[in-house]
Structure 1
Amino acid sequence: MTLGDWVSDTRNRIRDDGVVGLRESGYELYLGGLRRINEFYPEGTNVYDREWDALILLDACRVDLMREVADEYPFLNRPDELVSVGSSSIDWMEGTFTDDHRDEMRRTAYVTGNPFSHRVLSERDLLRLDDVWRYAWDDDAGTIPARPVTDRAIAAGRETDADRLVVHYMQPHFPSVPDPLGGGMNSETLGEGAGWDSPWDRLRRGELTEKRVWESYRENLRYVLDDVSLLLENLDAERVVISADHGNAKGEWGVYGHPKVPIPSVRRVPWYETTAEDDGTHEPETERNVERGDIEEKLGALGYL
């Protein structure tokens, strides 16, 4: 956004919302300043520079959130962390799937619930690219649930000879499947092109308490970790890593969510190593079906546009 765009948006906001609109524009100006110093933040570690057979990404998972629930899941017993290559999903994809790792990518299967994959990758870039969000989007939940991603990841593990498997869940990124805050995202909202009012934005405006947002965030993490547990019982992989593409800010530096800014709570992500063995306890139900819905609408619904 240019300064001219910001001035124009500010005028419209003040006209429509008065002081509230001015406050929102002030926040956007502040974020713009932070983005300009983003280049001075440590570059981060490309996951291809680490050893793993399967990488399970929990979208927008904070380090401290993972630590809160780690004792509930036996496979989360080797805590570590690293600095991500990005502060948003598209930053992570662009910083991970690079020309320097082209050969490794062609031996990688990527199963993803994150719609940004269409902006960065094509099927020719990888051994397998399974955009689960294209055909398993849940309008009622307003996101891509965990189970279709789990099913397709199990299928990829059994059907391909990939050297590496990346499984990208959409949780614990809001909306929270087990504990929605508000109406969430649905096809009606998508059709209006209105996007979605994130709980992080509502927290910033004082409409929700930090305790309430954190409870919903934590339940969404438990929801996806239950599926991770199922995946680990139906996948053969000697070295599995459970991590995240980026984290979230909950007020640090006056920032909420995960804009492209150099904040440790956004760039630091969990890194837990474990193993997986296919015991054959689950048969995948989700098959690749025809694409439905608009890509940009899905991104907007998740608060990305």
Structure 2
Amino acid sequence: MQLGNRIRRNPRLLLKAVRDAPATLVELNRLYHTRRSDRDYNQNGIDVFEQDWDNLVILDACRYDYFAESTEFEGPVERRVSRGAASREFITGNFSNRALHDVVYVSGNRWFLELREFINAEVHAYRDVERDFYVSRLDGDKRDVGYVPHPETVLDSAVEAAEEFPEKRLIIHLMQPHKPYLGPKSDRFTYDGGLRSTMAASGADIETLREAYRDTLEITLDLVESTLDALDGRTVITSDHGELLGERLRPIPVRWYGHREGVYVPELVEVPWQVVKEGPRREISADPPERMPEVDEETVEDTLRTLGYVP
């Protein structure tokens, strides 16, 4: 019914459906998964701010199953359900209508900047990390600003924030294992918006994609491990959402790559939750927020568009 109403309001959608049948089937899957919901996120997911942590390391687009196979940290890896199948849903579902004045957010993901006024959300301080990881595009050029921050850059910024704000909870949002990839297979990809477009532009097969994703995750986890000594308190690693690496959706079994809001299949909403360090707990306090950084809205949208989030 929803899709029929959309087509009546915009007949061009029917032409698009004919030209790109897989995308239409993904939309039908989304309508199936959200048919009983009037919310902008997955209501079955956990509220991360009701969990026990001093430092929350968020790996972007990290699946539970790949993490459980790759982590070398001691302790159990719990399977949690995220409030988002994509970053926008995760941010909306966890931050909306909250004054989180005891939280400092160090982020390589710019969705909080894009949404904060719309969702009425505040944190004590926000650190937007420099985009310093350059990658080639289809035209062979490189952006004036980096595509995403390298994980080491985000972690260095997080260590600085931990020293600057010793009485705050710290969120460290890394862009990896989301593309662009790290490691020996990274040069097999020509990045073009979303992962589906990247796969088409690159000509890479599914196995190469999955190996590149796993390599990126393992490299990132090694860098996180090297940072833990600088973070006191209780540190947890989790993810905002998962990633489809050529699996078929449900209930309509179309093959897909990347992530899509409102498609609540296990590959997209099942995320890891692992306590990776238990140290002396910090005394947490809430204080009036700092002024948000001045980041040009066009720059934010350009970043999200390059990553495939904004058409």
Task: Establish whether TM, by shorter chain, passes 0.5.
Answer: yes
Q: Note the C-alpha offset of 1:24.
A: 4.3
Q: Note the C-alpha offset of 1:209.
A: 2.7
SS where residue 208 of structure 2 aligns? helix
Aligned partners of 1:42 and 1:121: how far apart in 2?
20
* Conservation of the 8 A alpha-carbon contact between 1:53 and 1:164: yes
Aligned partners of 1:7 and 1:201: how far apart in 2?
28
Aligned partners of 1:269 and 1:25: how far apart in 2?
24
Q: Note the C-alpha offset of 1:29.
A: 4.1
**Once the two structures are superposed, what CA deviation does each residue of 1:32-74 show, in whole Å capped at 9, x if it has no partner?**
533543739652110111111110000010011112212xx2x
Out of 104, 110, 117, the residue aligned to residue 109 of structure 1 is: 104
* Conservation of the 8 A alpha-carbon contact between 2:181 and 2:213: yes
Aligned partners of 2:178 and 2:167: how far apart in 1?
27
- In the alignment, what sits opposite 1:164? 169
**Unmatched segments (≥5 aa) in structure 2:** 136-145, 281-292
Percentage of matched positions with identical amino acids: 25
1:33 lines up with 2:31 in the alignment: yes
Aligned partners of 1:25 and 1:169: how far apart in 2?
28
Seen in structure 2, the aligned counterparts of structure 1 residues 215 and 4 have a Cα distance that, compared at 3 Å, is farther
Out of 184, 199, 203, the residue aligned to residue 202 of structure 1 is: 199
Tell me the matched-pair count: 270
* Conservation of the 8 A alpha-carbon contact between 2:106 and 2:173: yes
Q: Note the C-alpha offset of 1:115.
A: 1.4
| Structure 1 range deviating more: 4-13 or 43-52 | 4-13
1:3 lines up with 2:4 in the alignment: no
Q: Give the structure-2-normalised TM-score.
A: 0.76
Q: Which amino acid aligns with 1:49?
A: E
Q: Give the structure-1-normalised TM-score.
A: 0.77
- In the alignment, what sits opposite 1:189? none
Seen in structure 2, the aligned counterparts of structure 1 residues 47 and 222 have a Cα distance that, compared at 3 Å, is same
Seen in structure 2, the aligned counterparts of structure 1 residues 207 and 118 have a Cα distance that, compared at 3 Å, is same
* Conservation of the 8 A alpha-carbon contact between 2:114 and 2:300: no
1:216 lines up with 2:212 in the alignment: yes
Structure holding more helix per residue: 1
- In the alignment, what sits opposite 1:126? 123
Q: Note the C-alpha offset of 1:84.
A: 0.8
Seen in structure 2, the aligned counterparts of structure 1 residues 50 and 277 have a Cα distance that, compared at 3 Å, is closer
* Conservation of the 8 A alpha-carbon contact between 1:10 and 1:22: no
Aligned partners of 1:199 and 1:257: how far apart in 2?
7
SS where residue 295 of structure 1 aligns? helix
Out of 283, 295, 301, the residue aligned to residue 300 of structure 2 is: 295
- In the alignment, what sits opposite 1:97? 95
CA RMSD of aligned residues (A): 3.2
- In the alignment, what sits opposite 2:267? 265
Out of 175, 187, 190, the residue aligned to residue 183 of structure 1 is: 190
Q: Which amino acid aligns with 1:228?
A: V
Q: Note the C-alpha offset of 1:257.
A: 2.0
Seen in structure 2, the aligned counterparts of structure 1 residues 128 and 301 have a Cα distance that, compared at 3 Å, is same
Listed as ranges, the matches of 1:276-295 within 5 Å are 294-295=299-300
SS where residue 56 of structure 2 aligns? strand
Structure holding more strand per residue: 2
**Unmatched segments (≥5 aa) in structure 1:** 15-20, 186-195, 279-288
Seen in structure 2, the aligned counterparts of structure 1 residues 127 and 206 have a Cα distance that, compared at 3 Å, is closer
Q: Which amino acid aligns with 2:268?
A: V
1:241 lines up with 2:243 in the alignment: no
